[in-house]
Amino acid sequence: MDNLLEIKDLSTSFFTHVGEVKAVRNISFDLKRGEAIGIVGESGSGKSVTMFSVMRLLVETGKIVNGSVVFDGRDIVTLKEKEMKEIRGNNISMIFQDPMTSLNPVLRIETQMVEALRLHKGLGKEEARKVSVDMLRLVGIPSPEKRMKQYPHEFSGGMRQRVMIAMALSCQPKLLIADEPTTALDVTIQAQILEILNDLREKLNTSIILITHDLGIVADICDKVNVMYGGCIVEKGTTRDIFNNSKHPYTWGLLDSVPNPKTLTKERLKPIEGQPPDLLNPPKGCPFAPRCKFAMEVCLQKMPEEFKISDTQRSACWLNHPLAPKVERSTKRGV
Ligand code: SF4
């Protein structure tokens, strides 16, 4: 598998009246074709800004200040807006937590899907209709011919999200970015949507970036995980590395806040106490230090290096330094 996306030393800032907000700081990661990666972190960690940088859809005050984002062999940071529009329409699709933000409430599903296919793929009306019906069937919408004639409000939340996935994938993008796609849904529907995404990834070889605050849902679908905090990637590895062998206290905190189906009734979930750092004035040391019970003097003074844990795992925490005290996560739950 070769890389579809290569992000290197990416930094994105917002230039506001009160100063420069360093929302994403020096992050690097790759995504292979057909691979799914989770970007996990609390709100304000930089995960959504990372993806809006990849799409080049930052608000006016936002700017990529450093680094490269190579998508399918082209650095999108340097592309003209016209070329970027083409990539957005044909090669990268996004789905959001609330499908109503992307679906037009006054147009039938058929009109919306057919128009998108005609515009981006140049299909004739009949062919676009056929592809739309096939896609709706693929995401498990019963009687797709009939349902195509309906308006978004005639669908339940879960069904709307399926329509959104069908629309996003009908143009056969190389990359699907799913931003908290299941947060508004109940647990059963959430599991169904994740299964559909997984299924389609295999059938269509689409790469997926799943953005979420919930480490629990990445286990179902992602091959790899990037954990973000304070605009930085603080740990990355395979899903198994992160769940079974995490070497970062922030990831431990996220893992402790994932419900465990076996012990849910006995064990209280532990929220991570404290507030995320102020990105107007990011700390010079580890961004997690004020909330970390293992923080040492070096953590306050110096940004942690990225320590190599294995060929697949990196962790930016001073506890991985050979001279640091040996500390392990107290509870372990495997995947
Ligand atoms: Fe905690 Fe220090 Fe590791 Fe940061 S570098 S997570 S403060 S131990």
Q: Ligand 1 in contact with 317 (CB < 6 A)?
A: yes
For the residues 238-249, what does the mean pLDDT come to?
96
The pLDDT of residue 192: 86
| CATH 3.40.50.300 is held by the domain 3-91+173-320 | yes
C-alpha to C-alpha distance for 41 and 228, rounded to whole angstroms = 5
Cα of 49 to ligand 1 centre, how many Å?
24
Average pLDDT over residues 307-324: 97
pLDDT in tens, 134-193: 999 988 899 999 999 999 999 998 899 889 999 988 888 999 999 988 887 788 888 888
pLDDT at 269: 63
Q: Greatest CA span in the chain, whole angstroms?
A: 67
Q: What is the atom index within ligand 1 of the atom nearest the CA of 250?
A: 6
DSSP 244-286: HH---HHHHHHHHTS--TTTTTTS---PPPS----TTS--SS-
Distance 4 CA to ligand 1 centre (A): 32
Average pLDDT over residues 49-55: 95
* pLDDT tens digits, one per residue of 65-124: 999 999 999 999 999 999 999 898 789 998 887 777 778 899 999 999 999 899 888 899
Ligand 1 pocket check for 151: Cβ under 6 Å: no
Strand partners, 40: 212, 227
286 ligand 1 Cβ < 6 A: yes
What per-residue confidence (pLDDT) applies to 227?
Answer: 97
Beta bridge partners, 69, equal 7
The C-alpha atoms of residue 20 and residue 281 are separated, in whole angstroms, by 9
Mark 291-314 as b/e (b = at least 16 C-beta within 10 Å): bbeebbeebeeebbebbebeeebb
Average pLDDT along the chain:
90
Residue 250: closest CA among 216, 302, 215, 298:
215
Confirm or reject: Cβ of 14 under 6 Å from ligand 1.
no
319 lines ligand 1 (CB under 6 A): yes
Query: 227: Cβ below 6 Å to ligand 1?
Result: no
User: Among 67-76, 164-173, 304-313, 315-324, whose mean pLDDT is lowest?
Assistant: 164-173
24: helix, strand or coil: strand
Give the mutation target among 252, 299, 323, 328 for probing the ligand 1 site: most ligand atoms within 8 A of CB: 299
Q: Which atom of ligand 1 is nearest to the CA of 289?
A: 7
In this structure, are residues 11 and 64 in contact, taking their beta carbons and an 8 Å threshold?
yes
Give the whole-angstrom CA distance, residue 226 versus residue 104. Answer: 33
Residue nearest (by alpha carbon) to ligand 1 atom 7? 289
The answer, yes or no, to whether residue 265 has pLDDT greater than 50, is no
Can you read off the two tokens belonging to residue 210?
């799943």
Q: 311 to each of 41, 241, 307, 315, how far by Cα in Å?
A: 23, 11, 11, 12
